[in-house]
Chains A and B, each alone.
Chain A
Amino acid sequence: MFDLNREAREIQSDKDIAWEIYKKSTTDMIGLYTLILCICVIFILPIWVNFDPLTQNVAERLLPPSWSDRGNLHHFLGTDEFGRDFLSRLLIGAQNTTKYAFLACFSSLIIGTSLGLMSAMSRSRTRKGVLHHIFDILFSIPSILIAFITIGILGASLPHAALAIGVSLLPRFIHESYCAAKKELEKEYVRAEISDGSSRLHLTFTTILPNILSTIISNMSQGISIAIIDIAAVGYLGFGAQPPTPELGNMLASGIDIIYVSTSKAIIPGVAMIVLIASIQLVGHGICRVLNTGVADAA
C-alpha cells in the first residue's frame, strides 16, 4: 500500500506534464501572469471597489496623470474632458470591450466549429458543400464593412457591434476546423476506428475533436484578439458603445480630439489594449505548444 502511494506520487499526471512543458518558455509565463493580472483587475476588482466612470466634475477636468507635476493623486490617471476619473473609465471600458469580445468569439467558435465538423463528417456532397460554403460570402467582405451593414440595419450600439464581429469571425472557424478535421480523417488510426465500426458521432467526439484541439485553440486566441481590436475599431468610428458608456475604442477616439491638450488620454487606452492582446496571444501560443509537443507534423 505504501509503495503504491509512492509510485503514484512519482508518476506525473497529464496536467503536471503539460504544466512542465508550459513552464519552459519564459515569454509564455510572462503572458500567463499578465493575462491573469489583467482579468483580475478588469473583472474582479470592480466588484469590491466602487469605480464611477460617469460622474462629471467640471472644476477638475483634463487633469494629467498623478506622476506629472500638476497631477492629483485623487485621480490616478487624471481626468478626461468632462472631469470623469480616467482610471475607472479605463477599467470599466476594458471590461465592456473584453466582455463583448469574449462573448462574440465564443459563440462564433461554438457555432463555427460545429458547422465545420458537421460538413467534414457528412457523407453527402451537397450537404458538405452547403455547410462549408454557406458563410463564404462573409469571408470576402472585410469585417468592418459587415459591422457597417449590421449597424445600418439595426442601429448603433455595443451589442450590435459584437454581433457583427461575431458573424464576421464565423467563416474563419468553419474553414479552419473543416480543414483540420479533413486532414485528421485521412490518418490511418482514424480509418482503423472507422473499420472497427465506430459511429460518426462517437468518432467526432472521441477522436477528431481532441486531435484538432490545438488548431481550435490557436484560432480562438487569434479570434479573441481580432474581436477586441475590431469591437474597439467600431467604437472608434462612433458606431459601437454610445458616448456616456466607456469603451476602449471610443475613449481612444475622444483622446485624439484632445491630443493637443492632453497627450496621455490618447496613449493609455491603446497601451492597455496592446498588453491585453499580446498576453492573450502568448497564452494561446503556449497552449498550442503544449498540445503539439511530440506531434511530428506540428506547424
Chain B
Amino acid sequence: MIDFLIKKLELFFITLFILTLILFWAHIRLGDVEINKIVPEYIHYAGNLVTLNFGNSTESGMPIIEEMKLFFPPTIELLLLSLAVSFCVGIFLGIVGGLNHHSVVDKFVYGFCLLGSSVPVYWSAQIFILLFCIYIKIFPTTGNISMLYDVPRYSGFLVIDVFIQGNNEIIIDMLKHLALPLISLSLVPCATFARITRRSTINLTQNYFIKAAYCRGESRFDIGVHHVLRNILPDIVQKLNIIICNLYSSCILVEVIFDWPGTGLWITQSINNSDGRIIETTTFVLGTSFLLLNITLDILSTLVINRTRLTHG
C-alpha cells in the first residue's frame, strides 16, 4: 500500500511539473520573456504558481486570488449538486433497467442512455430556456439569484448562505434560479451513470448469488440495494474521474448560457479580453485540483476493489 502511495505521489509531481512547463510555454507566447534568461524565468514563474502568488488581473486590477474566491464557490456548488442528483437518478435508472433486462422499462432506459450521450448540453439548455422561460414563464434565465435580494456572505456558497439567512422568499428565488442549470447539467452525467450501472448490473445478474437471492424469495428492491448496488460501486468509482472531468466541461457551457457567475463565465470573458494571466492561473488551479481528485479516486478505487477481493475470497 505504501509503495502504491509513493508511486502515485511521484506521478503527481511529474505531471505537475509538465503542467507548469506547458503553462510556461503559454506564458512565453502571451507575454515577453527574454530567451537567454529562460531557466531563471521559469523557476520564478513556477515558484509563484506553487506558492499561490498569482499577481493581479490586467482587466480589473484586483488580485487574482481574491477574484478566485468570488468565482469558485458557485461553480463548486453547481458541480456538486448536479453530481449528487445525477448519481442518485442515474444509478436508480441503471439498476431498474438492468434488473428488468429485455423488458419495456429496460428499452426506455437504454433509449435514455443513447439520447443522453448524444444530446449536447448547450442545446438542451436552449430548449429548457425556450420551454420554461419563453413559452411558460416560470423560471428566470440569468444569474444565480435576483439582483433585488442582498445575501450576506457567510461561507461563499449561495445555497448555504440563503438557508442560514432563512428568508423564505429568497430561498424560493434561489431555487428557481438553480433549477434550469441544474437539470440541464445533470442530464448527460445521469445518462452516463445509467449506462455504466445498467451494463454492470446485467453482467452481475448472471452470477449465482443473485439467482440464489431470487430463489430465497428476496424482493427486487432488496436485491437491488443489498446485492447489486454494493457490487457495482467499484465499476462506478473507476469511471468517476472521467465523469467529473466531462461534467466540468459542460459546466463551463451551462455557466455561459445561464450567466451563472462561476469560473466558466470568468475564463470565457478573460479569453475575450485576452487576459493571459487569468487563463494560466485558472488552468493551473483547476488542473492541480483535478489531478488531486484523480489520485484520491485512484487510491479509493484500489481500496474498494481490494476490500471486495478480500471479502469474496
Contact = CB atoms under 8 A, between A and B. Distances in A.
Interface of A: 133, 136-137, 139-145, 148-149, 151-153, 225, 229-230, 232-233, 236-239, 249, 252-253, 255-256, 259-260, 263, 266-267, 269-270, 273-274, 277-278, 281-282, 299
A233 B246 CA distance: 12
A142 B246 CA distance: 6
B122 to A, nearest CB: 5
A140 B290 contact: yes
Contact of A144 (B22, B134, B249): B249
Contacts of B249: 142-145, 230, 233
A140 B26 CA distance: 18
B276 A152 contact: yes
B123 A270 contact: yes
Interface string B178-213: 000000000000000000000100010000000000
Nearest to B18: A137
B120 A233 contact: yes
Contact of A142 (B14, B126, B290): B290
A266 B124 CA distance: 10
B19 interface: yes
Given A144-B252, A252-B126, A270 B276 contact: no
B15 interface: yes
Given A141-B290, A281-B114, A299-B199, A148 B279 contact: yes
A140 B118 contact: no
Interface in B118-152: 118-123, 126-127, 129-130, 134
Name, among A140, A152, A266, the residue most crowded by chain B CB atoms within 10 Å (CB to CB).
A140
A141 B115 CA distance: 25
A299 B199 CA distance: 8
Contacts of B123: 252, 269-270, 273-274
Contacts of B252: 142, 144-145, 237
Closest 8 CB pairs of A and B: A270-B123, A277-B118, A140-B290, A142-B249, A142-B248, A278-B118, A144-B249, A137-B15
Contacts of A281: 114, 117-118
A69 B119 CA distance: 30
Contacts of B23: 149
Q: Interface majority SS on A: helix, strand, loop or mixed?
A: helix
Contact of B30 (A140, A152, A225, A232): A152
A225 B117 contact: yes
Contacts, number: 133
A54 B15 CA distance: 45
Given A152-B276, A239-B271, A256-B129, A145 B120 contact: no
B289 to A, nearest CB: 9
B246 to A, nearest CB: 7
B250 to A, nearest CB: 8
A264 to B, nearest CB: 10
Given A141-B287, A274-B119, A148 B126 contact: no
Contacts of A256: 126, 129, 257
B283 interface: yes
A30 to B, nearest CB: 12
A97 to B, nearest CB: 11
Given A237-B253, A259-B126, A274-B123, A137 B118 contact: no
A152 B268 contact: no
Contacts of B267: 145, 148
A236 B115 CA distance: 20
Given A142-B246, A153-B26, A259 B287 contact: no
A225 B130 contact: no
Contacts of A141: 245, 283, 286-287, 290
A148 B122 CA distance: 17
Nearest to A150: B26
Contacts of A238: 272
Contacts of A273: 120, 123
Interface in B18-54: 18-19, 22-23, 25-26, 29-30
The CB with the most chain A CB atoms within 10 A, among B118, B129, B246, B268, is that of B118
